[in-house]
């Protein structure tokens, strides 16, 4: 939940998913290595195709609350992965 200026709490809309991404790779092997190092945090490798090329993303989530994603980002950094980011995706039905 994110805090607004007046102290109100708001959630990310249900059609949105927040992930902590610890890497994106053009081959599966390095993605698998990173995911195995972050296995205890729930990291998974997902494959997607962009511009005709496979991309293997190492992600944890989805999270509904921004604070939960922020806390996980810090935990991933504590595991020695500094090139980590929060990714917000719209979910299609």
Q: What is the pLDDT of residues 39-84, one digit of tens each?
A: 999 999 999 999 999 999 999 999 989 999 999 999 999 999 998 9
- Other C-beta atoms within 10 Å of 14: how many? 8
Structure tokens at 77: 């950094």
- The residue behind tokens 């980590």 is 84
Distance, CA of 1 to CA of 10 (rounded, Å): 5
CATH topology of domain 15-90: Alpha-Beta Plaits (3.30.70)
- Other C-beta atoms within 10 Å of 48: how many? 10
Kindly report the average pLDDT of the chain as a whole number. Answer: 88
Structure tokens at 43: 């990291």
């Amino acid at each position: 939940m994110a805090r607004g200026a007046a102290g109100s709490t708001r959630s990310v809309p249900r059609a949105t998913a927040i992930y902590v991404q610890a890497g994106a790779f053009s081959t599966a092997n390095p993605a698998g290595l990173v995911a195995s190092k972050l296995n205890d945090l729930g990291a998974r490798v997902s494959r997607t195709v962009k511009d005709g090329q496979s991309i293997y993303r190492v992600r944890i989530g989805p999270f509904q609350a921004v604070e939960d994603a922020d806390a996980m980002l810090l935990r991933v950094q504590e595991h020695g992965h500094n090139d980590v980011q929060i990714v917000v995706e719209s979910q299609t039905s």
